[in-house]
Amino acid sequence: MKITRITVFQLDLPLFEPYYLSGGRLRFDRLDSTFVRLETDEGVTGWGEGCPWGHTYLPAHGPGIRAAIETLAAALIGCDPRSPEQINRVMDVTLPGHPYAKSPIDMACWDILGQVSGLPLWQLLGGETPAPVLVNSSISTGTPEDMLALIERAAQKGYTVHSAKVGGTDIGLDIDRIEAISGGLPKGHKVTFDVNRAWQPAAAIEVLNSVQARDWVEQPCETLDQCAHVADRVRNPIMLDECMHTFGDHLEAWKRGACEGVKVKPNRVGGLTKARQIRDFGVSIGWQMHIEDVGGSALADTAAIHLASSTPEANRLASWLCHYHLDVDPVPGQGARNASGQAVPTSAPGLGVTPDPQALGAPVAVYEG
């Protein structure tokens, strides 16, 4: 089987309401998503999506995905999409780095492999059953009272696991937020305090040694070095996210004892192939993982839920779904959706999601042999 055509679509995904991270210093209104359709000489078609969370969250850029695919296309035409590992080697030789730009190609190859083998991705990725995955709520930065009200609203929708965004210049306010939320959670609920790298190491150590809360704290500082320094000096379990780009970063974090868990995001690390390698490493060393994508429609969310569902329950925490923040749905009603705080992957062969052609509009690029 050979890839014969690569068709690229661009779609703006407006958020329902502006979203603030990192103590309010980062604001997001809309996401720039790229959809990729791979066609083959045997008539099988696969879909992928790559969608950075704006261009200030990670070193990833919406238009960069399209530019990278322009560079990669000639090397991909003629390759067998049923061999995602080999496809990744071809992409890494043709364009080193730029993992986020390769993710939609890799995802579309997995979609084709699933369709050809007649198996859903959750099974190809190692799952025995389509296990339901807990869905994380996402609580935007605000006053302690506002954030607790958002958690209460999420709880009424069935969420039991929450990601509360903290991290500002006012350390006292962060201490208040953490204590109020940790102490005010509905019974049995769990929270992760996501700092989104806002603190300097000294602030992280001061805040975390001041609070009684012993909940997870995510990405307290910018770099792996800084986070490892903090992890050594606080009692909260640390989750790492934005500073983890390669398998080597994860290996380094493990060697240094920098975290007890990681966020595994296919778009950030280069696609399902590399996310699976990291997931399997995490299982082997006993990390707990949130497996979700950086952003995107229910297509990208569903790919991540396939990987999450196929992960042993002991190593799997909850997954966030980006598409619940969007004002558009280019894959109407399809894929893994939130049902009372849980999402179940589709059991159709492959990814199980096909975009609505009307929603995507005309392609922005077509590459063929």
24 sits in the region (left: phi over 0; alpha: psi -120 to 50; else beta) called left
39 binds Mg ion (CB under 5 A): no
Q: Which is nearer to Mg ion, 10 or 192 (CB)?
A: 192
By CB under 5 A, the count of residues binding Mg ion is 3
> Among residue numbers 81 through 110, which ones bind Mg ion (CB under 5 A)?
none
Catalytic pick among 102, 263, 265, 274: 265
> Looking at 102, 165, 263, 274, which residue is catalytic?
165
Residue 256 contacts residue 276 (beta carbons within 8 Å): no
In whole angstroms, what is the distance from residue 147 CA to residue 144 CA? 5
Residues in CB range of 161: below 8 A, 6 or more apart: 134, 135, 136, 137, 189, 190, 191, 192, 317, 318, 341
Closest separation between CB of residue 321 and Mg ion, Å? Answer: 14
Q: How far is the CB of 194 from Mg ion (least distance, A)?
A: 4
Q: Which stretch binds Mg ion (CB under 5 A): 50-58, 214-222, 230-238, 312-320?
A: 214-222
165 assigned to active site: yes
Interface residue with Mg ion, options 194, 215, 292, 301 (CB under 5 A): 194
Site for Mg ion in 223-252 (CB under 5 A): 241
Does residue 111 bind Mg ion (CB under 5 A)? no
Contacts of 290 (CB under 8 A, 6+ apart): 136, 192, 239, 261, 262, 263, 264, 317, 318, 319, 320
Stretch of residues binding Mg ion (CB under 5 A), selected from 22-30, 55-63, 187-195, 279-287: 187-195
Give the nearer residue to Mg ion in terms of CB position, either 47 or 53: 53
Q: Which residues bind Mg ion (CB under 5 A)?
A: 194, 218, 241
**Which residues are known to be catalytic?**
165, 265
